[in-house]
Amino acid sequence: MASVRLTDLAHGGGCGCKLAPSVLQQLLADKPAAMPFAQLLVGTQSSDDAAVWQVDEHTCVIATTDFFMPVVDDPYDFGRIAAANALSDVYAMGGNPIMALAILGMPLDKLDVETVRAILAGGEAICAQAGIPIAGGHSIDSAEPIYGLAAIGLCAPANIRRNSDAHIGDALILTKGIGVGIYSAAFKKQTLPTDAYAEMLASTTQLNRIGQELAKHEDVHAITDVTGFGLLGHGLEMARGSGLRIRIEQSRIPFFRQAEALAEAGYVTGASKRNWSSYGNDVALPAYLPEWRRALLTDPQTSGGLLVACKAERAEAIRTMIEAAGYSRASIIGTATAGAPGIEVV
């Protein structure tokens, strides 16, 4: 078969493929606020990262699924990114993944078998890094390439960390840089520099395993991962779920090294614009903020970092612990305050 760019086969890429937050809210509008099953600790009620079922007083099962279309052209890298992104939901809940199932949809009339095998090999490599098997899965012939995982994890009930348990006065820590969507937009147009691609790949293939360590820390109150809805969208889910207002200092956000320059040059995803249309009414921005800077705040992250709400007095020590674990961009970016649920950017 003729060589083809994976990203040319997809209308979107990575977590930018997610349905807009406003559409998702409409689809889930009739779901009950309280779950009828006592064992279901986390379901659809709080826009959290995974479902959690309590088996007994010692064990919870965490279940999640995540899949998307290519954000890069190298099939092995695509598999690695998709797998790391899927496992992130387990880590964000405070869990330890134990196995995964592959989700695969491929346009077999456009991609050869070796390309598909490379995607699967990339996913297997990340799962091996996490210490888990891919125990099975499901595949279909589809119009666009799709890959991801259904992941299962375990956690002690006391270590479950929801996105809705932030406290007033908490500090907010972000563990990875922001800019995956910006970089992917430049990549799709073949203008992303080689060093920037390497930066994006290093971030998107880094497992968020620090989440299971943070969940054991009594001063860590809430965790979520920042993915397709951008920093503002996932921060807003935390604010709404916790019934508080989040204040973000944009000067403290760890952006990818070339993200600001690329955003100003117009490399912005359609998902970033859809994100703002979905939740912009609940976000207060400085009057002077240019549109390209707003795009950085709504930029969809594929396999992004964790947003952590923790006791303010312990925030720097916790940030230092995260940094020492290999997350060099870990930064304290804001605080949780009393007020109408929403986000204020300063």
Fold of the CATH domain 171-345: Phosphoribosyl-aminoimidazole Synthetase; Chain A, domain 2 (3.90.650)
The predicted structure's pLDDT at residue 20:
64
Contacts of 128 (CB under 8 A, 6+ apart): none
Predicted confidence (pLDDT) per residue in 159-215, tens digit: 999 999 999 999 999 999 999 999 999 999 999 999 999 999 999 999 999 999 999
- 242 vs 23: CA distance, rounded Å: 22
Which of 204, 207, 183 shows the shortest CA–CA distance to 195? Answer: 183
Distance from C-alpha of 87 to C-alpha of 65, rounded to nearest angstrom: 9
- Compute CA 45 distance to the chain's CA centroid, rounded to the nearest angstrom: 19
Q: What pLDDT is attached to residue 25?
A: 63
Task: Point out which residues pair with 99 in neighbouring strands.
Answer: 152
Backbone phi, psi, residue 13, to 5°: -155, 145
Catalytic residue status for 155: no
Say which residues have a Cβ less than 8 Å from residue 131's Cβ, sequence separation at least 6: none
Options 15, 17, 155, 310, the catalytic residue: 15
Consecutive 10-residue averages of pLDDT for the chain (346 residues) = 70 63 62 66 81 94 94 96 97 97 93 94 98 96 94 97 96 98 95 97 98 97 96 96 97 98 95 93 94 96 97 98 98 97 96
Q: What is the pTM of this model?
A: 0.91
Residues 6+ apart with CB under 8 A from 44: 28, 31
Q: Which two three-digit tokens encode residue 181?
A: 């969507």
**pLDDT for 36:** 61
What one-letter code names the amino acid at 323?
A: E
Reported as a single tens digit per residue, the pLDDT across 300-329 is 999 999 999 999 999 999 999 999 999 999
Q: Rounded distance, CA 134 to CA 65, Å?
A: 13
| Four-way CATH pick for 6-159: 3.40.1440.10, 3.30.1330.10, 3.40.50.410, 3.40.50.720 | 3.30.1330.10
Angle, helices 194-204/180-188, rounded to nearest 10 degrees: 130
Q: Give the N- to C-terminal CA distance of the chain in Å, as an integer.
A: 52
* CA dihedral for 169, 326, 86, 97, sign (positive or negative): negative
Contacts of 253 (CB under 8 A, 6+ apart): 174, 178, 231, 296, 297, 331, 333
- With contact defined as beta carbons under 8 Å apart, do 304 and 138 qualify? no
Give domain limits for the chain. Answer: 6-159, 171-345
Record the tokens describing residue 126, joined without a space: 């990340």
